[in-house]
Structure 1
Amino acid sequence: MKKQHLRLILNGKSAGRTDVRAAVDAVRDMGHDVSVRVTYEAGDVARLVTEALHDHADSPIDTVVSGGGDGTLHEVVDAALQQISGDERPPFSFAVLPLGTANDFARHLQLDPNDIPACLRFATRASARPTDVGEVNGRVFVNMATGGFGTQVTAQTDPNLKKVLGGAAYLFTGLHRFSELAACEARVETEDFSWEGPFLALAIGNGRRAGGGIRLCPRAELDDGLLDLTIVPFPDSGKVIDLFSALMERGVEGLNGGFVEKRSRNITIETSEPVQFNLDGEPMTGTSWKVAIRHHRIALRR
């Protein structure tokens, strides 16, 4: 096997994990180079990606590994693409070391967050395959952009509760904030489709899962040049809690057809009031959204 150089950008919250150290040692024992950079405060990911691009010019880096959750991967890829002009691609591939709470994107890649050494070995063995990224108002996402009440639940669920209950923590939080459920009006347009009305949740997927494993875009593919749009319309009075529970427990496939699906390259969304969108878990707030796919923009170990 060809010797590789991995640059691990590690979320500082995970720096003391023994399984991370074991993973790095295991890959080094395979004969590969692993250089580790640890984040400490806001802005560190962008700085460390800039450093990786600079170092690559002198000593090529094969793969930049994002060590953290979906938000860390988002920051790493976004920082790399922000520093590259036009349609140029980053000079190295990317890989995921799933150290977050939900690890939705890692599960799409069939990585096991309970076996971190195996995940880092995977980064040396898997092919670097062309992979799409999405873009919302100039900011990229690798996995999914989500909006609506479900987004608020994801953002406001107690991290300690997530550790205890896993994905069920989102449902628990949503049920306890049931009185805050309210419809948001939106108009959604693609190249050949339009929809208007109140919605409970909206997802635009490059990947398939978000919010702790919820299958919001179950047929999304990472390299097909298309985004999968899912709209969950706001239901009639009296059915909201049942719909929300089914969505959180079984994903859109458990809604018995009570959702809208569309595949598209470009999507525009206008909302009647400010709504929060999460890009791989990172929040944005606004009323006007331009969404597009960037076909085969990066190489990803998968």
Structure 2
Amino acid sequence: MTHLRIILNGKSAADVRVRRAVATLRAEGHQVGVRPTWESGDVQRLTSEAMRDAAADGIEVIVAAGGDGTINEVLGTAFTGEGGYGGSFGILPLGTANDFARSAGVDPNDITAALRRAATSMPVPVDIGVLDGRPFVNLVTGGFGSRITAETDPQLKKSLGGLAYALTGLARLGDMTASTGRFRGEGFEWEGPFIAMAIGNGRQAGGGIPLCPGASIDDGLLDLLILPAIPPDLGSQHLMEALRTGPRAIRGLEVRCKSTWFEYEAQEDLHVNLDGEPLLTRTFRVECVPGALSLRLGDSPLLKGRQPHPPVAG
């Protein structure tokens, strides 16, 4: 049996699915502690506390319970924190889009199964991306799509889920302008105007858009997508199709590359989204840190087949 500590986004504290999942896992013999957040900074504090107390309390798995932002914050805190925690991490998807969980094959519609996966799956070493010192688990996106993500009303997201992003994109379509910048990677260089870019450790963002469908979280590489400025003769229909289904709607225009690092530079600010954290920047460097943390994902499509290792006894 496994001892889990859940770092729960306070917005989901009253979610009956979470209570049912915790009760079920306890009935199955697992030890489950829950620490809900209340205010800004609690995720970092509670994660650090769980890592620090793991040996004394026997905590084997720290579970990030919330949306993509909460998952990124828990794992980012672990990545940048002091060493000494020998356990692993799990995810409980409770957000609006749940892009990372869906990429990883964790079903947001079955919270009990997700928690059981965190308790029973073998831990696997996974990569972490780092943008100018800021860690991320899933994706860095930039351009028009990131602006839409930042501007989508939280109440609309709560009501409509991932559809809220597409509706906001439709409303802002007339404001769409291309960014111009230069990208570099291992044996790669591209410069010009573009509508959107993504650098993926995971595969999708924006409520289900598969920006980096070939990315793996344990291959030591990051996947780059650049969607160049779209020729006027393609029309707005293609643009809206791209918002709805991703860049496969205009297959053949996109630029793709894999590398252990990427650099970007431009003369004007670019809207960037770092797993839910909006940024404005003109330059950045992104690097992949292989095998940085141990994550319990079960049979996940994000894994290329690296052998799992036995859990560390608490």
The TM-score bracket by the shorter chain reads over 0.9
**In the alignment, what sits opposite 2:311?**
none
Please report how far the alpha carbon of residue 160 of structure 1 lies from its aligned counterpart in structure 2 after TM superposition: 3.0
Report the 3-state secondary structure (helix = DSSP H, G, I; strand = E; otherwise coil) of the residue aligned with 1:215.
coil
Q: When the two structures are superposed, what TM-score results if normalisation uses the length of structure 2?
A: 0.91
**In the alignment, what sits opposite 2:208?**
213
Please report how far the alpha carbon of residue 89 of structure 1 lies from its aligned counterpart in structure 2 after TM superposition: 7.8
**In the alignment, what sits opposite 2:99?**
104
1:89–1:149 CA distance, 2 compared to 1 (3 A): farther
Please report how far the alpha carbon of residue 178 of structure 1 lies from its aligned counterpart in structure 2 after TM superposition: 1.4
1:54–1:216 CA distance, 2 compared to 1 (3 A): same
Q: What letter matches 1:182 in structure 2?
A: T
**In the alignment, what sits opposite 1:17?**
15
Deviates most, 49-58 or 291-300: 49-58
Q: When the two structures are superposed, what TM-score results if normalisation uses the length of structure 1?
A: 0.94
1:276–1:5 CA distance, 2 compared to 1 (3 A): same
Q: What letter matches 1:56 in structure 2?
A: A
1:89–1:269 CA distance, 2 compared to 1 (3 A): farther
Identical aligned pairs, as a percentage?
Answer: 48
Q: Counterparts of 1:272-283 in structure 2 under 5 Å?
A: 272-283=267-278
Q: Counterparts of 1:39-50 in structure 2 under 5 Å?
A: 39-50=37-48
**In the alignment, what sits opposite 1:133?**
128
Please report how far the alpha carbon of residue 90 of structure 1 lies from its aligned counterpart in structure 2 after TM superposition: 4.5
Once the two structures are superposed, what CA deviation does each residue of 1:169-211 show, in whole Å capped at 9, x if it has no partner? 2121111111211111110000200000111100000111100
The aligned length equals: 297
Rounded to whole Å, the distance in 2 between the matches of 1:89 and 1:216 is 35
**In the alignment, what sits opposite 2:58?**
60
Rounded to whole Å, the distance in 2 between the matches of 1:8 and 1:170 is 29
Q: Counterparts of 1:223-262 in structure 2 under 5 Å?
A: 223-237=218-232, 239=234, 241-262=236-257
- Alignment equivalent of 1:74, drawn from 72, 75, 78: 72
Q: Is the 1:235–1:243 Cα contact (8 Å) retained in structure 2?
A: no
Report the RMSD for the aligned CA atoms in angstroms. Answer: 1.5
Once the two structures are superposed, what CA deviation does each residue of 1:87-130 show, in whole Å capped at 9, x if it has no partner? x6852211110000000111112122111111111111212111
Please report how far the alpha carbon of residue 162 of structure 1 lies from its aligned counterpart in structure 2 after TM superposition: 2.7
Rounded to whole Å, the distance in 2 between the matches of 1:257 and 1:112 is 31
